[in-house]
């Protein structure tokens, strides 16, 4: 039995020694195994001649060189054109009457009258007038001043009547002195029928005015300090009363 125990002890010792030797050999082998070196950084390779250069992902939407990378030159700012010089006054025999341009108005006895004249163009001045009483049109008139071979004429076309022309004589205060010219409808004396008498009645009812006879105008002018000179008849039912 002692012999068996001795043999068993010897066997265990050998087995332990063998395991120890094996572990030591394994440790030595692990310690002697060289570590794998870290991979060096990749060096970009230059493509050989004839090879297409790989396109970078960021360059996918890039614009070809010379187009998108260059800013378009700005267009020079458009300089405003210089204002055209004012047109010279039209050389026309009507030029002395160009001051009529614009709107003229009056309001007497609730009768509002407006007269509008366009500027002188094409050797002609055009105008129109309208008279309104209590919101209703009482009268309107188309007017023009034109140049004819025989002189300058003022042409009036009242509502419901024929056109009437008046020749402009071209006289001014420098040539005829301080004169007052009244263009009125003169009533004949007595009971002679005349359109002016209907107008007299209309003016009396609508605006409280009246038409007068020549003798009445003479007295009216004298009361205002004027000297009555003469009456100039026209082809229209109107007369020109001259005084100074």
Contact 153, 145 (CB under 8 A): yes
Contact 110, 134 (CB under 8 A): yes
Q: Per CATH, which fold does 92-170 belong to?
A: Lipocalin (2.40.128)
**Closest Cα to residue 146, out of 174, 167, 172?**
167
Instruction: Give the Cα separation of 229 and 216 in Å (integer).
Output: 14
Question: Where residue 29 falls among pLDDT bands split at 50, 70, 90?
Answer: low
Per-residue model confidence (pLDDT) at position 55: 52
220 C-beta neighbours (distance < 10 Å), count: 15
Per-residue model confidence (pLDDT) at position 181: 86
Q: What is the pLDDT of residues 192-231, one digit of tens each?
A: 788 778 877 877 777 777 788 888 888 888 888 888 889 8
Residue 66 has pLDDT above 70, yes or no: no
- Minimum mean pLDDT among 30-44, 113-127, 190-204: which range? 30-44
Per-residue model confidence (pLDDT) at position 223: 84
Ranges of CATH 2.40.128.20 domains, the chain: 92-170
pTM over 0.85: no
Instruction: Give the Cα separation of 234 and 185 in Å (integer).
Output: 11
Instruction: Give the Cα separation of 166 and 236 in Å (integer).
Output: 9
Contact 184, 212 (CB under 8 A): yes
Per-residue model confidence (pLDDT) at position 85: 52
């Amino acid at each position: 039995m002692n012999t068996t125990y001795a043999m068993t002890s010897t066997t265990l010792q050998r087995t332990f020694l063998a395991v120890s030797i094996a572990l030591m050999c394994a440790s030595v082998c692990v310690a002697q195994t060289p570590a794998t070196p870290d991979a060096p950084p990749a060096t970009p390779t230059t493509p050989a001649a004839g090879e297409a250069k790989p396109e970078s992902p960021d360059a996918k939407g890039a614009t070809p060189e010379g187009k998108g990378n260059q800013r378009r030159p700005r267009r020079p700012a458009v300089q405003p054109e210089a204002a055209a010089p004012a047109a010279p006054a039209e050389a026309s025999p009507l030029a002395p009457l160009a001051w009529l341009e614009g709107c003229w108005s009056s309001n007497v006895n609730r009768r509002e009258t407006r007269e509008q004249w366009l500027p002188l163009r094409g050797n002609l001045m055009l105008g129109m007038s309208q008279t309104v009483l209590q919101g209703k049109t009482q009268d309107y008139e188309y007017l023009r001043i034109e140049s004819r071979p025989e002189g300058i004429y003022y042409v009036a076309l009242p509502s419901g009547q024929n056109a009437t022309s008046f020749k402009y004589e071209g006289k001014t205060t420098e040539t005829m002195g301080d004169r007052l010219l009244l263009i009125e409808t003169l009533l004949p004396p007595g009971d002679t029928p005349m359109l002016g008498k209907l107008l007299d009645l209309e003016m009396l009812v609508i605006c409280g005015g009246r038409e007068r006879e020549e003798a009445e105008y003479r007295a009216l002018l004298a009361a205002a300090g004027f000297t009555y000179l003469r009456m100039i008849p026209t082809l229209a039912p109107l007369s020109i009363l001259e005084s100074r």
